[in-house]
């Protein structure tokens, strides 16, 4: 299969931008790109598939490095709560979910990501109520249908209220069963190949819901199997206080003590970092998923992204779970990141091109896939987004990358994953778009009904 995109403005992230050029795709990889018209392909009579990219900006597909897809089913609740208040209000509701809820939520959530230019997404699923079906398989099935590259993390919590943790005991698991299920998930699904559509990570939830033993055992398991590690770190000042009170250490120091710094680790959030913390992340190659809309929604704070980048710490983007960043499009996080950094540090804190780089190459690094994804270069996977920047309003903006990052999300002419069309002319092509949306709405109704049967949805904390 070959595909030629012509007459397109290319922002490859690696190497210079091309104002009008071509991208030639062979199989699932980029064969060639350059300025001007495409040279005749060697030995080919012509390309059966051509896309005229006139008026479009081509970028690498966006990479989402933090999410909780199941939360699509619990959006719009606990609207004015802090992280800890929000979690306490929602844990019990989430305890009612089943595989059907997860499949519907993941179908809608992943479809929504594809419609915002995302070609690779991670997910962090950390609640596995007993007797509710195979929740991990349910989200993997959804990703296969939607057709985007998927890096689900088998999450876990073992430190319930009775152990001094935040979550109620009903949503936590035993250490031994977590390790067995995590090991099984890696063995069943992890594909380390270059073109992999599915890789598994290991992800105890957070310092306030996972024991030290779970953290160290998880790290040993992941390193034994050659997969990556993910967890929440330094999201709020409440977490700082919790870690100081319980462990006598701030979150990053605690992670260091547990062997959780390294090039195979990426953290969600990394908001409350000291200068020393940033130095440790940079020195060890530990990545961070910046989730600005969620941090804003929960009043968590503004991460020190521009300082992290300046000091060489890797940063990718994430939308975070939909219950703390309702309907957030991934492309919108480029703008949100840029505005947050500039509001905190001034107008040179983050450029449009830096925002694009963290959303693509930075994300690929978080997932350990910088040699395969994240830039448009010959030999890399053909994961790209074609943004239509020639609309009657957007065409008034001098620079297409500025239009993409400073403005509202432009329409998508195409989203390609490994050369395969996932979105065309703003519509999902892999699954019927209306059905994907309805699956999410049904997942919401079902979860609310299941929670209601347990008398959990009347709490007033849930609705404020
Ligand atoms: Zn999260």
Angle at 221 between CA 218 and CA 223, to 5 degrees: 105
Comparison of pLDDT for 164 and 69, the residue scoring more: 69
Is the model's pLDDT at 43 over the cut of 60?
Answer: no
**Percentage of the chain modeled with pLDDT above 70:** 97
- Distance from the alpha carbon of residue 303 to the mean position of ligand 1, in angstroms: 14
For residue 70, give the nearest of 460, 458, 453, 439 by alpha carbon.
Answer: 439
Distance separating alpha carbons of residues 32 and 20, to the nearest angstrom: 14
Report strand pairing: 201-204 vs 149-156. parallel
For residue 94, give the nearest of 172, 159, 180, 184 by alpha carbon.
Answer: 172
pLDDT, tens digit, for every residue of 139-186?
999 999 999 999 999 999 999 999 999 999 999 999 999 999 999 999
- Distance from the alpha carbon of residue 121 to the mean position of ligand 1, in angstroms: 13
- Distance from the alpha carbon of residue 109 to the mean position of ligand 1, in angstroms: 14
Question: Which pLDDT does position 344 carry in this prediction?
Answer: 97
Q: Cβ of 117: how many Cβ atoms within 10 Å?
A: 27
Question: Which pLDDT does position 366 carry in this prediction?
Answer: 98
- Distance from the alpha carbon of residue 199 to the mean position of ligand 1, in angstroms: 19
pLDDT, tens digit, for every residue of 95-139?
999 999 999 999 999 999 999 999 999 999 999 999 999 999 999
Q: Which of 58-72, 77-91, 298-312 has the lowest mean pLDDT?
A: 77-91
Is the model's pLDDT at 220 over the cut of 60?
Answer: yes
Query: Exposure pattern of 331-351 as b/e (b: 16+ CB <10 Å)?
Result: bbbbbbbbbbbeebeeeebbb
Is the model's pLDDT at 42 over the cut of 80?
Answer: no
Question: Which pLDDT does position 460 carry in this prediction?
Answer: 67
- Distance from the alpha carbon of residue 26 to the mean position of ligand 1, in angstroms: 37
Q: Are 122 and 66 in contact (CB under 8 A)?
A: yes
Distance separating alpha carbons of residues 19 and 398, to the nearest angstrom: 12
- Distance from the alpha carbon of residue 149 to the mean position of ligand 1, in angstroms: 19
Angle at 47 between CA 43 and CA 50, to 5 degrees: 155
- Distance from the alpha carbon of residue 270 to the mean position of ligand 1, in angstroms: 11
Q: What is the mean pLDDT of residues 75-100?
A: 94
Query: Exposure pattern of 211-234 as b/e (b: 16+ CB <10 Å)?
Result: beebbebbbebbeeeebbbbbbbb
- Distance from the alpha carbon of residue 84 to the mean position of ligand 1, in angstroms: 12
Q: Are 317 and 291 in contact (CB under 8 A)?
A: yes
- Distance from the alpha carbon of residue 22 to the mean position of ligand 1, in angstroms: 38
- Distance from the alpha carbon of residue 45 to the mean position of ligand 1, in angstroms: 50
- Distance from the alpha carbon of residue 384 to the mean position of ligand 1, in angstroms: 26
pLDDT, tens digit, for every residue of 344-403?
999 999 999 999 999 999 999 999 999 999 999 999 999 999 999 999 998 999 999 999
Q: Where are the alpha helices (DSSP H) in 202-321?
A: 212-225, 237-247, 251-257, 275-284, 292-297, 305-310
Question: Which pLDDT does position 46 carry in this prediction?
Answer: 58
Tokens of 89: 């209000």
Report how far Cα 151 is from the mean position of its chain's Cα atoms. 9
Question: Which pLDDT does position 221 carry in this prediction?
Answer: 98
- Distance from the alpha carbon of residue 216 to the mean position of ligand 1, in angstroms: 20
- Distance from the alpha carbon of residue 458 to the mean position of ligand 1, in angstroms: 25
- Distance from the alpha carbon of residue 91 to the mean position of ligand 1, in angstroms: 13
pTM surpassing 0.85?
A: yes
Q: What is the mean pLDDT of residues 420-434?
A: 98
Is the model's pLDDT at 436 over the cut of 90?
Answer: yes
Residues ≥6 apart with Cβ < 8 Å to 10:
17, 18, 21, 23, 33, 57, 58, 376
DSSP code for 156: E
- Distance from the alpha carbon of residue 397 to the mean position of ligand 1, in angstroms: 35
- Distance from the alpha carbon of residue 322 to the mean position of ligand 1, in angstroms: 9
Question: Which pLDDT does position 456 carry in this prediction?
Answer: 75
Question: Which pLDDT does position 455 carry in this prediction?
Answer: 81
Strand partners, 366: none
- Distance from the alpha carbon of residue 287 to the mean position of ligand 1, in angstroms: 15
What does the longest C-alpha to C-alpha distance in the chain come to?
Answer: 70
- Distance from the alpha carbon of residue 125 to the mean position of ligand 1, in angstroms: 9
pLDDT, tens digit, for every residue of 280-294?
999 999 999 999 999
For residue 38, give the nearest of 70, 3, 1 by alpha carbon.
Answer: 3
- Distance from the alpha carbon of residue 67 to the mean position of ligand 1, in angstroms: 6
Distance separating alpha carbons of residues 91 and 119, to the nearest angstrom: 30
pLDDT, tens digit, for every residue of 234-267?
999 999 999 999 999 999 999 999 999 999 999 9
Give residue for tokens 């992230």: 13
- Distance from the alpha carbon of residue 7 to the mean position of ligand 1, in angstroms: 40
φ/ψ of residue 161, rounded to 5: -50, -40
pLDDT, tens digit, for every residue of 302-338?
999 999 999 999 999 999 999 999 999 999 999 999 9
φ/ψ of residue 421, rounded to 5: -75, 120
Cα torsion angle, 153, 324, 98, 161, sign: positive
Cα torsion angle, 337, 343, 346, 347, sign: positive
For residue 391, give the nearest of 404, 380, 378, 377 by alpha carbon.
Answer: 404
- Distance from the alpha carbon of residue 320 to the mean position of ligand 1, in angstroms: 5
Give residue for tokens 């997932």: 367
Distance separating alpha carbons of residues 401 and 212, to the nearest angstrom: 44
- Distance from the alpha carbon of residue 294 to the mean position of ligand 1, in angstroms: 9
- Distance from the alpha carbon of residue 124 to the mean position of ligand 1, in angstroms: 7
Q: Are 387 and 411 in contact (CB under 8 A)?
A: yes
Question: Which pLDDT does position 41 carry in this prediction?
Answer: 65
Report strand pairing: 49-52 vs 56-60. unpaired
- Distance from the alpha carbon of residue 35 to the mean position of ligand 1, in angstroms: 41
> What residues have a C-beta under 5 A from ligand 1, the ion?
268, 320
Question: Which pLDDT does position 47 carry in this prediction?
Answer: 59
- Distance from the alpha carbon of residue 367 to the mean position of ligand 1, in angstroms: 16
What's the start-to-end Cα distance of the chain, in Å? 53
For residue 60, give the nearest of 330, 350, 299 by alpha carbon.
Answer: 330
- Distance from the alpha carbon of residue 101 to the mean position of ligand 1, in angstroms: 18
Question: Which pLDDT does position 296 carry in this prediction?
Answer: 97
Report how far Cα 438 is from the mean position of its chain's Cα atoms. 22
Is the model's pLDDT at 430 over the cut of 90?
Answer: yes
- Distance from the alpha carbon of residue 39 to the mean position of ligand 1, in angstroms: 46
- Distance from the alpha carbon of residue 330 to the mean position of ligand 1, in angstroms: 15
- Distance from the alpha carbon of residue 460 to the mean position of ligand 1, in angstroms: 23
Question: Which pLDDT does position 40 carry in this prediction?
Answer: 80
Question: Which pLDDT does position 1 carry in this prediction?
Answer: 81
Is the model's pLDDT at 45 over the cut of 60?
Answer: no
């Amino acid at each position: 299969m070959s595909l030629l995109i012509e007459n397109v403005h290319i922002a490859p992230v690696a190497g210079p931008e091309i104002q009008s050029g071509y991208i030639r795709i062979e199989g699932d990889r980029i064969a060639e790109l350059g300025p001007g018209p495409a040279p005749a392909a060697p030995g080919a009579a012509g390309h059966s598939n051509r896309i005229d990219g006139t008026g479009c900006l081509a970028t690498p597909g966006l990479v989402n490095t933090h999410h909780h897809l199941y939360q699509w089913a619990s959006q719009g609740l606990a609207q004015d709560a802090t992280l800890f208040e929000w979690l306490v209000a929602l844990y019990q509701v989430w305890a009612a979910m089943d595989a059907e809820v997860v499949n519907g939520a993941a179908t809608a959530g992943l479809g929504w990501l594809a419609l915002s230019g995302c070609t690779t997404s991670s997910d962090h699923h950390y609640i596995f109520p007993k007797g509710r079906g195979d929740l991990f398989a349910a989200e993997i099935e959804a990703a296969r249908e939607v057709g985007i590259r998927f890096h689900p993390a088998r999450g876990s919590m073992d430190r319930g209220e009775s152990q001094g943790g935040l979550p109620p005991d009903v949503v936590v698991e035993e250490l031994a069963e977590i390790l067995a299920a995590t090991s099984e998930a890696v063995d069943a699904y992890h594909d380390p190949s270059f073109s992999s559509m599915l890789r598994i990570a290991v992800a105890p939830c957070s310092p306030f819901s996972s024991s030290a033993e779970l953290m160290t055992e998880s790290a040993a398991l992941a390193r034994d199997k050659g997969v990556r590690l993910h967890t929440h770190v330094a999201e709020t000042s409440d977490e700082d206080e919790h870690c100081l009170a319980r462990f006598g250490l701030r979150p990053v120091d605690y992670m260091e003590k547990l062997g959780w710094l390294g090039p195979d680790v990426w953290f969600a959030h990394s908001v409350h970092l000291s200068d020393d913390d940033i130095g440790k992340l940079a020195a060890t190659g530990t990545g961070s998923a910046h989730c600005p809309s969620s941090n804003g929604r929960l009043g968590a704070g503004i991460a020190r992204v521009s300082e992290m980048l300046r000091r060489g710490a890797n940063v990718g983007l994430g939308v975070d779970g939909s219950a703390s960043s309702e309907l957030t499009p991934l492309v919108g996080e480029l703008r949100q990141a840029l505005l947050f950094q500039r509001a905190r540090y001034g107008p040179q804190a983050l450029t449009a091109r830096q925002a694009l780089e963290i959303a693509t190459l930075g994300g690929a690094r978080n997932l350990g896939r910088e040699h395969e994804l994240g830039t448009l270069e010959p030999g890399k996977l053909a994961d790209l987004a074609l943004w239509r920047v020639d609309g009657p309003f957007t065409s008034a903006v001098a620079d297409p990358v500025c239009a993409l990052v400073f403005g509202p999300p432009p329409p998508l002419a195409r989203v390609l994953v490994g050369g395969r069309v996932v979105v065309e002319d703003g519509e999902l092509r892999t699954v019927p778009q209306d059905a994907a949306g309805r699956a999410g709405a049904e997942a919401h109704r079902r979860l609310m009904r299941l929670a209601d049967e347990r008398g959990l949805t009347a709490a007033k904390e849930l609705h404020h």
